[in-house]
Amino acid sequence: MMKKAIITLIYSITILSLQAQNKDSLWVKANNYFVKNDFEKAVDTYLSIEKLGFQSAELYYNLGNAYYKLNKIAFAILYYEKAYELAPHNDDIAYNLELANRNILDKIEKIPVFFITGWIRSFVNLFSSDLWAKMSILTFIASVVLISMFLYSRRVGLKKLFFWLAIVFFLISILTFYCSYKQKQNILKNDSAIILNPSVTVKSSPDFSGTDLFVVHEGTKVWIVDELSDWKEIKLSDGSKGWLKTSDLAVI
């Protein structure tokens, strides 16, 4: 059993190593294609990296750039959005996403967000999920160290200082853990999508016999609120709802 487990482990490590080497090779090729303005090949090569299971803000950002150069705005927005979810603090991604959104036909008014909710979202998006998690671990360790110092200190003034500092660092640890959790949940929940077809009619029910409600165009961002078979109920930023075929959109 032990020998079989070791062989399996070695095999797994070898496969992962080969995949990483293949990814690095494809990455260099894709970047070279992009520099040479061969954007079709750049897109195909970047997608090959994605198919290997690799995900990163840089990969999605480069894919968005390549699609934008090909004037495939819906796909450019899709991958800019993917990149932005992984790196919401990146100014380049935010700028290019805004630039791409200027090309879509639908100009939909957003429902105003309660100002406290907006502040919380902005605060959570200050850093990536991984950075928030590291901050949470460090501040938790600091609180444990301070509690230890509180327990072993004999001076009353120092004991009070260590106690209250431990409380502060522990609360910061909880707050940063919450921010890391929210960031990760936003990435994993997959409740937003981009319309891919040039023009799509939104229905009142999940079938073609449903009443035509309104039309959306490629590049428009929607939120998925329900699904039935190969239909999805979507909501726009202005609150409008309706049903679309799953093939009409791509989940971010």
Domain containing residue 8: CATH number: 1.25.40.10
Place of tokens 């959109």: 249
Comparing CA positions, the residue from 107, 68, 69 lying closest to residue 221 is 107
In a domain, 43, yes or no: yes
In a domain, 106, yes or no: no
Mean pLDDT across the chain? 87
Q: How far apart are CA 55 and CA 188, in angstroms?
A: 13
Same domain for 53 and 90? yes
Q: What are phi and psi of 189, to 5 degrees?
A: -70, -20
Q: At what angle do helices 156-188 and 115-124 cross, to 10 degrees?
A: 100
Predicted pLDDT of residue 106: 87
Predicted pLDDT of residue 160: 92
In a domain, 199, yes or no: yes
Q: How far apart are CA 97 and CA 91, in angstroms?
A: 10
Same domain for 135 and 81? no
* Positions of the chain with pLDDT lower than 70, given as ranges: 1-23, 111-113
Same domain for 148 and 200? no
Bridge pairing between strands 192-195 and 241-245: unpaired
In a domain, 109, yes or no: no
- What angle is formed at CA 206 by the lines to CA 205 and CA 207, rounded to 5 degrees? 95
Q: Which residues constitute the domain of residue 58?
A: 2-101
Q: Which run of H or of E encompasses 129?
A: helix 129-152
